[in-house]
Structure 1
Amino acid sequence: MTDKPCRGLRKDAARNRQRVLTAARELFAIKGMEATLNDVAHHAGVGVGTVYRRFATKEDLVEAIFEDGIAEVVRLAETALQHPNSWDGLVWFIERQCELAATDRGLREMIYSKAYGGDRVDCVREELVPLVFTLVERARQDGYLRADIEHTDTPIIGLLAGTVSEWAGHVDPELWRRYVALLLEGMRYHPDQKPLGIAALDEDQMHAAMHGWDPAG
Protein backbone atom coordinates (compact mmCIF):
# COMPACT_ATOMS: atom_id res chain seq x y z
CA MET A 1 0.00 0.00 0.00
CA THR A 2 2.76 2.45 0.91
CA ASP A 3 4.38 2.35 -2.54
CA LYS A 4 1.30 3.43 -4.53
CA PRO A 5 1.69 7.18 -3.91
CA CYS A 6 5.35 6.94 -4.95
CA ARG A 7 4.43 5.28 -8.19
CA GLY A 8 1.82 7.96 -8.80
CA LEU A 9 4.36 10.70 -8.23
CA ARG A 10 6.81 9.07 -10.62
CA LYS A 11 4.11 8.80 -13.28
CA ASP A 12 3.17 12.44 -12.78
CA ALA A 13 6.83 13.45 -13.01
CA ALA A 14 7.28 11.48 -16.24
CA ARG A 15 4.13 13.03 -17.73
CA ASN A 16 5.25 16.51 -16.77
CA ARG A 17 8.70 15.92 -18.25
CA GLN A 18 7.21 14.75 -21.55
CA ARG A 19 4.77 17.65 -21.51
CA VAL A 20 7.66 20.08 -21.13
CA LEU A 21 9.65 18.38 -23.92
CA THR A 22 6.69 18.41 -26.32
CA ALA A 23 5.93 22.04 -25.57
CA ALA A 24 9.57 23.04 -25.96
CA ARG A 25 9.89 21.30 -29.34
CA GLU A 26 6.73 23.04 -30.58
CA LEU A 27 7.84 26.41 -29.27
CA PHE A 28 11.42 26.18 -30.55
CA ALA A 29 10.12 25.10 -33.96
CA ILE A 30 8.22 28.41 -34.17
CA LYS A 31 10.38 30.88 -32.22
CA GLY A 32 13.82 29.29 -32.47
CA MET A 33 16.40 29.40 -29.73
CA GLU A 34 15.28 32.79 -28.43
CA ALA A 35 12.52 31.03 -26.45
CA THR A 36 13.23 30.88 -22.71
CA LEU A 37 12.43 28.29 -20.06
CA ASN A 38 9.72 30.65 -18.83
CA ASP A 39 8.23 30.67 -22.34
CA VAL A 40 8.31 26.87 -22.36
CA ALA A 41 6.52 26.68 -19.01
CA HIS A 42 3.79 29.02 -20.26
CA HIS A 43 3.39 27.04 -23.50
CA ALA A 44 3.25 23.75 -21.58
CA GLY A 45 0.72 25.11 -19.10
CA VAL A 46 2.89 24.24 -16.09
CA GLY A 47 4.63 26.28 -13.43
CA VAL A 48 8.14 27.57 -14.05
CA GLY A 49 9.35 25.49 -11.12
CA THR A 50 8.18 22.32 -12.88
CA VAL A 51 10.43 23.10 -15.84
CA TYR A 52 13.43 23.94 -13.69
CA ARG A 53 13.03 20.75 -11.65
CA ARG A 54 13.24 18.68 -14.85
CA PHE A 55 15.86 20.81 -16.63
CA ALA A 56 18.22 22.93 -14.55
CA THR A 57 19.34 24.98 -17.57
CA LYS A 58 18.09 25.78 -21.04
CA GLU A 59 21.08 23.88 -22.43
CA ASP A 60 19.88 20.69 -20.68
CA LEU A 61 16.46 21.06 -22.29
CA VAL A 62 17.90 21.80 -25.72
CA GLU A 63 20.13 18.72 -25.62
CA ALA A 64 17.23 16.50 -24.63
CA ILE A 65 15.10 17.73 -27.53
CA PHE A 66 17.53 18.08 -30.36
CA GLU A 67 19.84 15.14 -29.90
CA ASP A 68 17.00 13.12 -31.39
CA GLY A 69 16.28 15.81 -33.97
CA ILE A 70 19.80 15.78 -35.36
CA ALA A 71 19.91 11.99 -35.13
CA GLU A 72 16.91 12.07 -37.48
CA VAL A 73 19.10 13.78 -40.10
CA VAL A 74 21.67 11.01 -39.64
CA ARG A 75 18.99 8.41 -40.29
CA LEU A 76 17.95 10.27 -43.45
CA ALA A 77 21.53 10.14 -44.73
CA GLU A 78 21.78 6.42 -43.95
CA THR A 79 18.52 5.78 -45.81
CA ALA A 80 19.68 7.85 -48.79
CA LEU A 81 22.85 5.77 -49.07
CA GLN A 82 20.70 2.67 -49.57
CA HIS A 83 19.20 4.10 -52.76
CA PRO A 84 20.55 2.23 -55.81
CA ASN A 85 20.84 5.46 -57.84
CA SER A 86 23.36 7.84 -56.27
CA TRP A 87 21.79 11.00 -57.70
CA ASP A 88 18.28 10.08 -56.59
CA GLY A 89 19.62 9.23 -53.13
CA LEU A 90 21.41 12.57 -52.83
CA VAL A 91 18.36 14.51 -54.05
CA TRP A 92 16.10 12.65 -51.62
CA PHE A 93 18.42 13.46 -48.71
CA ILE A 94 18.77 17.13 -49.59
CA GLU A 95 15.00 17.54 -50.01
CA ARG A 96 14.28 15.85 -46.67
CA GLN A 97 17.03 17.84 -44.93
CA CYS A 98 15.64 21.08 -46.38
CA GLU A 99 12.12 20.18 -45.31
CA LEU A 100 13.29 19.86 -41.70
CA ALA A 101 15.22 23.12 -41.94
CA ALA A 102 12.24 24.93 -43.48
CA THR A 103 9.62 23.73 -41.01
CA ASP A 104 11.51 23.65 -37.70
CA ARG A 105 13.34 26.87 -36.87
CA GLY A 106 14.74 25.47 -33.64
CA LEU A 107 16.26 22.44 -35.31
CA ARG A 108 17.63 24.66 -38.08
CA GLU A 109 19.38 26.87 -35.56
CA MET A 110 20.66 23.82 -33.71
CA ILE A 111 22.14 22.23 -36.84
CA TYR A 112 23.80 25.37 -38.18
CA SER A 113 25.11 26.89 -34.95
CA LYS A 114 27.48 25.77 -32.20
CA ALA A 115 25.76 28.07 -29.72
CA TYR A 116 23.53 25.26 -28.41
CA GLY A 117 23.50 21.52 -28.15
CA GLY A 118 26.45 20.43 -26.05
CA ASP A 119 28.70 17.43 -26.45
CA ARG A 120 26.00 14.87 -27.22
CA VAL A 121 24.73 16.83 -30.20
CA ASP A 122 28.31 17.42 -31.38
CA CYS A 123 28.82 13.65 -31.39
CA VAL A 124 25.80 13.17 -33.65
CA ARG A 125 27.08 15.90 -35.98
CA GLU A 126 30.40 14.03 -36.24
CA GLU A 127 28.47 10.93 -37.25
CA LEU A 128 26.62 12.83 -39.98
CA VAL A 129 29.61 14.36 -41.80
CA PRO A 130 31.10 11.15 -43.27
CA LEU A 131 27.67 9.98 -44.41
CA VAL A 132 27.04 13.20 -46.33
CA PHE A 133 30.58 13.09 -47.73
CA THR A 134 29.86 9.59 -49.10
CA LEU A 135 26.52 10.69 -50.60
CA VAL A 136 28.20 13.53 -52.47
CA GLU A 137 31.27 11.58 -53.53
CA ARG A 138 29.19 8.69 -54.83
CA ALA A 139 27.05 10.97 -57.01
CA ARG A 140 30.13 12.77 -58.31
CA GLN A 141 31.93 9.56 -59.21
CA ASP A 142 28.84 8.29 -61.00
CA GLY A 143 28.86 11.39 -63.20
CA TYR A 144 25.66 12.97 -61.90
CA LEU A 145 27.16 15.78 -59.84
CA ARG A 146 29.33 18.64 -61.04
CA ALA A 147 32.96 18.23 -60.03
CA ASP A 148 33.23 21.29 -57.80
CA ILE A 149 30.34 20.46 -55.44
CA GLU A 150 31.51 19.49 -51.94
CA HIS A 151 29.74 17.85 -49.02
CA THR A 152 29.96 21.14 -47.12
CA ASP A 153 27.62 22.68 -49.70
CA THR A 154 24.67 20.51 -48.64
CA PRO A 155 23.99 22.00 -45.18
CA ILE A 156 24.12 25.50 -46.66
CA ILE A 157 21.34 24.53 -49.07
CA GLY A 158 19.29 23.59 -46.01
CA LEU A 159 20.09 26.93 -44.41
CA LEU A 160 18.92 28.72 -47.57
CA ALA A 161 15.67 26.74 -47.55
CA GLY A 162 15.13 27.73 -43.94
CA THR A 163 15.77 31.38 -44.71
CA VAL A 164 13.21 31.36 -47.55
CA SER A 165 10.68 29.72 -45.25
CA GLU A 166 11.32 32.21 -42.47
CA TRP A 167 10.99 35.16 -44.85
CA ALA A 168 8.02 34.08 -46.98
CA GLY A 169 6.50 31.09 -45.21
CA HIS A 170 3.49 33.14 -44.07
CA VAL A 171 2.77 33.87 -47.75
CA ASP A 172 3.55 30.44 -49.21
CA PRO A 173 4.84 27.73 -46.84
CA GLU A 174 5.99 25.61 -49.79
CA LEU A 175 8.00 28.32 -51.59
CA TRP A 176 11.32 26.94 -50.33
CA ARG A 177 10.80 23.86 -52.54
CA ARG A 178 11.09 26.02 -55.68
CA TYR A 179 14.53 27.27 -54.73
CA VAL A 180 15.78 23.90 -53.59
CA ALA A 181 14.74 22.51 -57.01
CA LEU A 182 16.65 25.34 -58.72
CA LEU A 183 19.75 24.65 -56.63
CA LEU A 184 19.59 20.92 -57.29
CA GLU A 185 19.34 21.54 -61.02
CA GLY A 186 22.42 23.76 -60.78
CA MET A 187 24.32 20.96 -59.02
CA ARG A 188 23.89 18.52 -61.90
CA TYR A 189 26.87 17.76 -64.11
CA HIS A 190 26.69 19.01 -67.69
CA PRO A 191 29.44 18.86 -70.30
CA ASP A 192 31.49 22.03 -70.75
CA GLN A 193 30.42 23.48 -67.41
CA LYS A 194 32.38 26.47 -66.26
CA PRO A 195 33.83 26.04 -62.77
CA LEU A 196 32.24 27.95 -59.92
CA GLY A 197 34.14 31.11 -59.10
CA ILE A 198 34.10 30.58 -55.31
CA ALA A 199 35.32 27.46 -53.53
CA ALA A 200 33.17 25.62 -50.99
CA LEU A 201 33.97 26.03 -47.32
CA ASP A 202 36.28 23.39 -45.90
CA GLU A 203 35.57 21.68 -42.58
CA ASP A 204 37.55 24.22 -40.53
CA GLN A 205 35.69 27.09 -42.16
CA MET A 206 32.36 25.36 -41.55
CA HIS A 207 33.20 25.01 -37.86
CA ALA A 208 34.26 28.66 -37.73
CA ALA A 209 31.01 29.77 -39.36
CA MET A 210 28.92 27.66 -36.98
CA HIS A 211 30.82 28.93 -33.94
CA GLY A 212 30.40 32.50 -35.10
CA TRP A 213 26.60 32.38 -35.49
CA ASP A 214 24.40 32.75 -32.42
CA PRO A 215 20.82 32.64 -33.75
CA ALA A 216 19.41 34.24 -30.59
CA GLY A 217 21.88 37.10 -30.82
Structure 2
Amino acid sequence: MADAMPRMLRTDAQDNRDRVLDAARQLFSERGIDVTMRDVARHAGVGPATLYRRFPTKQVLIDAAFADELRTCSGIVAEGCADPDPWRGFRSVIERITVLNVQNQGFVDAFMSANPQVDSVAAHRASLLRMLTQLAARAQRAGGLRADFVMDDLLLVLMAGRGLASAPTEHRAAAARRFTALAIDALSASGTRADLPRAPRLASAMVHNSR
Protein backbone atom coordinates (compact mmCIF):
# COMPACT_ATOMS: atom_id res chain seq x y z
CA MET A 1 0.00 0.00 0.00
CA ALA A 2 2.85 2.36 0.84
CA ASP A 3 4.37 1.73 -2.62
CA ALA A 4 1.03 2.40 -4.32
CA MET A 5 0.66 5.89 -2.85
CA PRO A 6 3.72 7.45 -4.59
CA ARG A 7 2.62 5.87 -7.86
CA MET A 8 -0.85 7.39 -7.47
CA LEU A 9 0.68 10.79 -6.74
CA ARG A 10 2.92 10.53 -9.78
CA THR A 11 -0.08 9.58 -11.92
CA ASP A 12 -2.12 12.51 -10.61
CA ALA A 13 0.79 14.89 -11.26
CA GLN A 14 1.17 13.61 -14.83
CA ASP A 15 -2.59 13.90 -15.41
CA ASN A 16 -2.52 17.51 -14.21
CA ARG A 17 0.45 18.29 -16.43
CA ASP A 18 -1.26 16.76 -19.45
CA ARG A 19 -4.47 18.69 -18.76
CA VAL A 20 -2.56 21.97 -18.47
CA LEU A 21 -0.68 21.32 -21.73
CA ASP A 22 -3.87 20.38 -23.56
CA ALA A 23 -5.57 23.54 -22.30
CA ALA A 24 -2.58 25.72 -23.22
CA ARG A 25 -2.35 24.27 -26.73
CA GLN A 26 -6.06 24.83 -27.32
CA LEU A 27 -6.12 28.39 -25.98
CA PHE A 28 -2.86 29.41 -27.68
CA SER A 29 -4.14 27.94 -30.94
CA GLU A 30 -7.47 29.75 -30.75
CA ARG A 31 -6.52 33.04 -29.10
CA GLY A 32 -2.74 33.47 -29.44
CA ILE A 33 -0.04 33.72 -26.80
CA ASP A 34 -1.60 36.62 -24.88
CA VAL A 35 -3.72 34.11 -22.99
CA THR A 36 -2.98 34.42 -19.27
CA MET A 37 -1.73 31.68 -16.99
CA ARG A 38 -4.95 32.05 -15.00
CA ASP A 39 -6.98 31.42 -18.17
CA VAL A 40 -4.98 28.25 -18.80
CA ALA A 41 -5.46 27.02 -15.23
CA ARG A 42 -9.19 27.68 -15.38
CA HIS A 43 -9.54 25.93 -18.74
CA ALA A 44 -7.55 22.94 -17.46
CA GLY A 45 -9.63 22.71 -14.30
CA VAL A 46 -6.65 23.07 -11.97
CA GLY A 47 -5.68 25.68 -9.42
CA PRO A 48 -3.02 28.30 -10.13
CA ALA A 49 -0.71 26.66 -7.58
CA THR A 50 -0.89 23.36 -9.46
CA LEU A 51 -0.16 25.14 -12.76
CA TYR A 52 2.88 26.97 -11.38
CA ARG A 53 4.29 23.80 -9.81
CA ARG A 54 4.38 22.20 -13.25
CA PHE A 55 5.21 25.34 -15.25
CA PRO A 56 6.83 28.04 -13.08
CA THR A 57 6.78 30.66 -15.86
CA LYS A 58 4.76 31.32 -18.98
CA GLN A 59 7.95 30.85 -21.00
CA VAL A 60 8.27 27.27 -19.76
CA LEU A 61 4.62 26.62 -20.65
CA ILE A 62 5.01 28.10 -24.14
CA ASP A 63 8.13 25.99 -24.77
CA ALA A 64 6.32 22.79 -23.77
CA ALA A 65 3.11 23.65 -25.63
CA PHE A 66 4.88 24.34 -28.93
CA ALA A 67 7.51 21.58 -28.77
CA ASP A 68 5.68 19.45 -31.35
CA GLU A 69 5.15 22.37 -33.74
CA LEU A 70 8.81 23.36 -33.51
CA ARG A 71 9.89 19.81 -34.34
CA THR A 72 7.44 19.66 -37.24
CA CYS A 73 8.58 23.05 -38.54
CA SER A 74 12.23 21.98 -38.36
CA GLY A 75 11.42 18.77 -40.22
CA ILE A 76 9.63 20.67 -43.00
CA VAL A 77 12.60 22.98 -43.54
CA ALA A 78 15.13 20.13 -43.36
CA GLU A 79 13.20 18.11 -45.95
CA GLY A 80 12.91 21.13 -48.24
CA CYS A 81 16.65 21.78 -48.01
CA ALA A 82 17.39 18.13 -48.74
CA ASP A 83 15.36 18.14 -51.98
CA PRO A 84 17.77 17.86 -54.96
CA ASP A 85 15.59 20.41 -56.76
CA PRO A 86 16.01 23.55 -54.61
CA TRP A 87 13.08 25.42 -56.18
CA ARG A 88 10.75 22.49 -55.54
CA GLY A 89 12.11 22.24 -52.00
CA PHE A 90 11.58 25.96 -51.42
CA ARG A 91 8.00 25.77 -52.71
CA SER A 92 7.22 22.83 -50.46
CA VAL A 93 8.51 24.71 -47.40
CA ILE A 94 6.29 27.72 -48.08
CA GLU A 95 3.18 25.60 -48.59
CA ARG A 96 3.70 23.19 -45.70
CA ILE A 97 4.62 25.85 -43.17
CA THR A 98 1.64 28.00 -44.16
CA VAL A 99 -0.71 25.02 -43.79
CA LEU A 100 0.88 24.20 -40.42
CA ASN A 101 0.62 27.78 -39.20
CA VAL A 102 -2.99 28.31 -40.18
CA GLN A 103 -3.97 25.54 -37.75
CA ASN A 104 -2.34 27.23 -34.76
CA GLN A 105 -2.52 31.00 -34.33
CA GLY A 106 -0.52 30.87 -31.11
CA PHE A 107 2.42 29.17 -32.77
CA VAL A 108 2.47 31.77 -35.53
CA ASP A 109 2.39 34.55 -32.93
CA ALA A 110 5.26 32.96 -31.02
CA PHE A 111 7.33 32.26 -34.12
CA MET A 112 6.99 35.77 -35.53
CA SER A 113 7.09 37.66 -32.24
CA ALA A 114 9.87 39.76 -30.74
CA ASN A 115 8.14 39.39 -27.36
CA PRO A 116 10.64 38.48 -24.57
CA GLN A 117 8.17 35.81 -23.44
CA VAL A 118 9.08 33.75 -26.50
CA ASP A 119 12.83 34.33 -26.67
CA SER A 120 13.39 30.57 -26.72
CA VAL A 121 11.72 30.47 -30.14
CA ALA A 122 14.11 33.12 -31.46
CA ALA A 123 17.12 30.78 -31.69
CA HIS A 124 14.99 28.20 -33.47
CA ARG A 125 13.68 30.86 -35.86
CA ALA A 126 17.18 32.18 -36.58
CA SER A 127 18.44 28.67 -37.39
CA LEU A 128 15.56 28.00 -39.79
CA LEU A 129 15.99 31.37 -41.50
CA ARG A 130 19.68 30.63 -42.08
CA MET A 131 18.74 27.31 -43.70
CA LEU A 132 16.06 28.96 -45.82
CA THR A 133 18.44 31.73 -46.92
CA GLN A 134 20.80 29.07 -48.27
CA LEU A 135 17.93 27.18 -49.92
CA ALA A 136 16.65 30.38 -51.54
CA ALA A 137 20.12 31.17 -52.93
CA ARG A 138 20.30 27.69 -54.45
CA ALA A 139 16.81 28.10 -55.94
CA GLN A 140 17.88 31.41 -57.49
CA ARG A 141 21.02 29.88 -58.98
CA ALA A 142 18.89 27.06 -60.41
CA GLY A 143 16.68 29.64 -62.12
CA GLY A 144 13.45 28.83 -60.26
CA LEU A 145 13.26 31.68 -57.77
CA ARG A 146 13.24 35.23 -59.08
CA ALA A 147 16.61 36.99 -58.84
CA ASP A 148 15.34 39.98 -56.84
CA PHE A 149 13.86 37.83 -54.06
CA VAL A 150 15.00 38.70 -50.52
CA MET A 151 14.17 36.89 -47.27
CA ASP A 152 11.90 39.74 -46.24
CA ASP A 153 9.61 38.55 -49.04
CA LEU A 154 9.24 35.16 -47.38
CA LEU A 155 8.42 36.82 -44.07
CA LEU A 156 5.79 38.94 -45.85
CA VAL A 157 4.19 35.75 -47.17
CA LEU A 158 4.19 34.16 -43.70
CA MET A 159 2.82 37.32 -42.08
CA ALA A 160 0.08 37.63 -44.69
CA GLY A 161 -0.77 33.98 -44.14
CA ARG A 162 -1.67 34.75 -40.54
CA GLY A 163 -4.89 36.29 -41.81
CA LEU A 164 -6.04 32.87 -43.01
CA ALA A 165 -6.81 31.99 -39.40
CA SER A 166 -9.96 34.11 -39.75
CA ALA A 167 -11.32 31.70 -42.38
CA PRO A 168 -13.79 29.02 -41.25
CA THR A 169 -11.92 26.08 -39.74
CA GLU A 170 -13.01 23.64 -42.44
CA HIS A 171 -11.62 25.89 -45.20
CA ARG A 172 -8.29 26.91 -43.66
CA ALA A 173 -6.07 24.19 -45.14
CA ALA A 174 -7.51 24.70 -48.63
CA ALA A 175 -7.19 28.47 -48.25
CA ALA A 176 -3.55 28.07 -47.19
CA ARG A 177 -2.74 25.94 -50.24
CA ARG A 178 -4.47 28.36 -52.64
CA PHE A 179 -2.77 31.35 -51.01
CA THR A 180 0.69 29.79 -51.19
CA ALA A 181 0.17 28.78 -54.83
CA LEU A 182 -0.56 32.42 -55.64
CA ALA A 183 2.48 33.57 -53.62
CA ILE A 184 4.73 31.00 -55.31
CA ASP A 185 3.59 32.22 -58.73
CA ALA A 186 4.66 35.73 -57.70
CA LEU A 187 8.06 34.44 -56.57
CA SER A 188 8.72 32.32 -59.64
CA ALA A 189 11.46 33.45 -62.04
CA SER A 190 9.69 31.97 -65.06
CA GLY A 191 6.54 33.15 -66.78
CA THR A 192 5.05 29.66 -66.56
CA ARG A 193 2.11 29.43 -64.17
CA ALA A 194 1.13 26.18 -62.51
CA ASP A 195 -2.52 25.23 -62.09
CA LEU A 196 -3.91 26.59 -58.84
CA PRO A 197 -5.41 24.31 -56.18
CA ARG A 198 -9.19 24.49 -55.92
CA ALA A 199 -10.30 27.67 -54.17
CA PRO A 200 -12.19 27.37 -50.89
CA ARG A 201 -15.73 28.68 -51.26
CA LEU A 202 -15.24 31.63 -48.93
CA ALA A 203 -17.15 34.25 -50.93
CA SER A 204 -20.23 32.10 -51.39
CA ALA A 205 -20.22 31.28 -47.68
CA MET A 206 -20.11 35.00 -46.83
CA VAL A 207 -22.99 35.76 -49.20
CA HIS A 208 -25.03 32.90 -47.75
CA ASN A 209 -24.35 33.98 -44.15
CA SER A 210 -25.33 37.58 -44.89
CA ARG A 211 -28.83 36.63 -45.98
| TM-score (ref. length: structure 2) | 0.80
Which runs of 4 or more aligned residues in structure 1 lie more than 4 Å from their structure 2 counterparts after TM superposition?
A: 116-119
1:120 paired residue number: 120
Residue identity (%)? 34
Question: What is the 5 A alignment of 1:1-217?
Answer: 1-163=1-163, 165-169=164-168, 172-173=171-172, 174-190=174-190
Q: For the residues of structure 1 that align with 2:40 and 2:184, how far apart are their CA atoms?
A: 37
1:208 paired residue number: none
Q: What displacement does 1:31 show? A: 0.7
Count of residues paired in the alignment: 190
Deviates more, 1:71-80 or 1:172-181: 172-181
In 2 relative to 1, CA 118–103 (structure 1 residues): closer, same or farther, beyond 3 Å? closer
Query: Equivalent residue of 2:151, what SS?
Result: coil
Q: For the residues of structure 1 that align with 2:156 and 2:55, how far apart are their CA atoms?
A: 31
Query: Equivalent residue of 1:178, what SS?
Result: helix
2:202 paired residue number: none
Query: Equivalent residue of 1:147, what SS?
Result: coil
In 2 relative to 1, CA 58–161 (structure 1 residues): closer, same or farther, beyond 3 Å? same
Deviates more, 1:60-69 or 1:13-22: 60-69
Deviates more, 1:91-100 or 1:149-158: 149-158
Q: Does the CA-based 8 Å contact 1:41-1:48 persist in structure 2?
A: yes
Q: What displacement does 1:190 show? A: 2.9
Q: For the residues of structure 2 that align with 1:78 and 1:94, how far apart are their CA atoms?
A: 13
In 2 relative to 1, CA 149–65 (structure 1 residues): closer, same or farther, beyond 3 Å? same
Q: For the residues of structure 1 that align with 2:20 and 2:158, how far apart are their CA atoms?
A: 28
| TM-score (ref. length: structure 1) | 0.78
Structure 1 spans left out of the alignment, 5+ residues: 192-217
Q: What displacement does 1:162 show? A: 1.5
In 2 relative to 1, CA 129–117 (structure 1 residues): closer, same or farther, beyond 3 Å? farther
Q: What displacement does 1:64 show? A: 2.0
Structure 2 spans left out of the alignment, 5+ residues: 192-211
What are the Cα deviations for residues 109-165 of structure 1, in whole angstroms up to 9, with x where unaligned? 0011021554432222232122111221111110001001123322331221111x1
